[in-house]
Amino acid sequence: MKKLISYIKEAYETYRLNNVTVKYDCAPRDFIIEAPETFEESDLQTYMDDKLLGELPSNIKYSETFFGKNCDNIYDVYFEYDTYTRLANKPTAKVNLEWDPKYKQGSSEDITLNYYKITNLKYIIGFDRFDILNGNKDNVENVLKEIFMATVSNDNNKYPIEISLDPKNIEYHE
């Protein structure tokens, strides 16, 4: 059991930020998805969420490693993008997210697939608060940059999509 002095020390060593939002860039810029031709934009968003979010840094299997106790403060995780286009023909570019036939569709009849292009896909994580040990006004940006840059795609971090981060896309309130 911790002593009261331990809690007091932690409070002084912790620098709390509010409303931290991290916006990752996803590659490639034109992200191609294979899905049923009956899909509307909202269906496509749900499919991307179901197939991709569970394998990215905000997922429970990664978030505690990357964010420590701050993983409990994640309040929102989502994708956003600039444009959504239904393609008329099969693209010459690589399909980045192929249709998973195990994904439940209303009936079990054969499904006709189509291709969709998502331009400038972003992966966003929102924290209602974020605590930094031994943080202060002078080093907060560097500490956040170090924490979130450790989550991007690299030899150690393999995800179903490539994610990168421009440190300018980390927003917070003190």
pLDDT tens-digit map of 43-60: 999 999 999 999 999 998
pLDDT of residue 136: 76
| Global pTM exceeds 0.95 | no
pLDDT tens per residue, range 122-165: 999 999 999 998 777 788 999 999 999 999 999 999 999 999 99
Across the chain, mean pLDDT equals 90
User: 142 is written with which tokens?
Assistant: 């560097």
**Looking at the domain assignment, is residue 7 inside a domain?**
no
Whether residue 1 is contained in a domain is answered as no
The answer to the question of residue 6 being in a domain is no
Q: To the nearest 10°, the Cα dihedral for 18, 81, 64, 150? A: -90
Determine the pLDDT at residue 86: 95
For residue 115, tell me if it sits in a domain: yes
Q: Is residue 140 part of a domain?
A: yes
- Structural domain that includes position 134: 15-173
Q: Which of 86, 82, 58 is nearest to 72 (CA)?
A: 58
DSSP per position, 67-108: HGGGGGGEEEEEEE-SEEEEESS--SSPPSB---TTS--SSS
Residue 28: cis peptide before it, omega within 30 degrees of 0 = yes
Q: Reduced to 3 states, what is the DSSP secondary structure of residue 22? A: strand
Contact present, 112 and 66 (Cβ < 8 Å): no
The pLDDT of residue 8 is above 70: no
Q: How far is it, in rounded angstroms, from Cα 115 to Cα 24? A: 24
Which of 2 and 62 is assigned the larger pLDDT?
62
Domains in the chain: how many in total? 1
